[in-house]
């Protein structure tokens, strides 16, 4: 049985991030969250039957930090359980980098977003006008959130894929559960949609 999906995108993107990948998953039910960085947020309902939760980048951290009733497993692309550096997490991004982004966001949101998305690997235009308060709140969560214990509790129900050339060290690390490191950068569902769809299908069949 192919399970429905519950999808959460990362910081600086919107629900359309998943379109290319979902084109390779015809017929699969998908509930897509939009964090509202470029318009009204959309808090998708959880599927009414067992499902897979799928996250990208900061969307992975968001999923790990919430209750997911009925969820059979996580599939995380370019994800992490913590993003900012800490004494016991030296591979994280220094807090000063995120704090600088937050300050710059107040002055030049479009420039910050364009630069960030270019670093991730896309020159696509922004999908809409920036919604400052939600973007800032998203950066604050990247600075403060730590879901390493939650990730460990998912055990072998957490499946991950990341890119060897991902520019963000936390996303290159993957998780302690078995996963896949592939050629690619930080936007695997955009740049390798067929590969990501196949990965989801593999685990959907396994858990279904």
pLDDT band at 208 (very low <50, low <70, confident <90, very high): confident
Decide if pLDDT at 205 tops 90: no
pLDDT band at 207 (very low <50, low <70, confident <90, very high): confident
Taking residues 145-165, what's their average pLDDT? Answer: 97
Q: Compute the distance between CA of residue 84 and CA of residue 130 in angstroms, rounded to an integer.
A: 23
Angle at 4 between CA 176 and CA 70, to 5 degrees: 65
Decide if pLDDT at 1 tops 70: no
CB 68 within 8 A of CB 20: no
Report pLDDT digits (tens) over 10-46.
999 999 999 999 999 999 999 999 999 999 999 899 9
| Overall residue count recorded for the chain in this entry | 208
Strand partners, 8: 33, 55
Report pLDDT digits (tens) over 172-185.
999 999 899 999 99
- Give CA torsion, residues 162, 163, 167, 168, to 10 deg: 10
3-class DSSP assignment, residue 163 = strand
- Give the model's pLDDT for residue 2: 83
Report pLDDT digits (tens) over 43-94.
899 999 999 999 999 999 999 999 999 999 999 999 999 999 999 999 999 9
Mean pLDDT, all residues of the chain: 96
What is the H or E stretch that residue 96 is in?
A: helix 95-107
Report pLDDT digits (tens) over 91-116.
999 999 999 999 999 999 999 999 99
């Amino acid at each position: 049985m192919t399970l429905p999906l519950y999808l959460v995108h990362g910081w600086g993107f919107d629900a359309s991030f998943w379109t290319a990948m979902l084109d390779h998953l015809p017929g699969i039910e998908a509930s897509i969250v939009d964090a509202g960085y470029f318009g009204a947020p959309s808090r998708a309902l959880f599927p009414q039957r067992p499902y897979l939760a799928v996250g990208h980048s900061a969307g992975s951290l968001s999923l790990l930090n919430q209750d997911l009733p009925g969820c059979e497993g996580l599939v995380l692309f370019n994800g992490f359980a913590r993003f900012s550096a800490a004494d016991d997490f030296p591979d994280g991004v220094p807090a000063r980098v995120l704090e600088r982004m937050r300050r710059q966001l107040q002055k030049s949101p479009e420039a910050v977003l364009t630069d960030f998305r270019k670093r991730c690997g896309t020159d696509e235009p922004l999908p809409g006008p920036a919604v400052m308060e939600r973007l800032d709140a998203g950066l604050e969560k990247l600075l403060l959130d730590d879901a390493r214990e939650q990730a460990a509790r998912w055990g072998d129900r957490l499946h991950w894929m990341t890119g060897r050339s991902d520019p963000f060290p936390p996303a290159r690390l993957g998780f302690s559960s078995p996963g896949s490191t592939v050629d690619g950068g930080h936007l695997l569902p955009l740049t390798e949609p067929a590969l990501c769809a196949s990965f989801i299908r593999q685990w959907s069949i396994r858990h279904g």
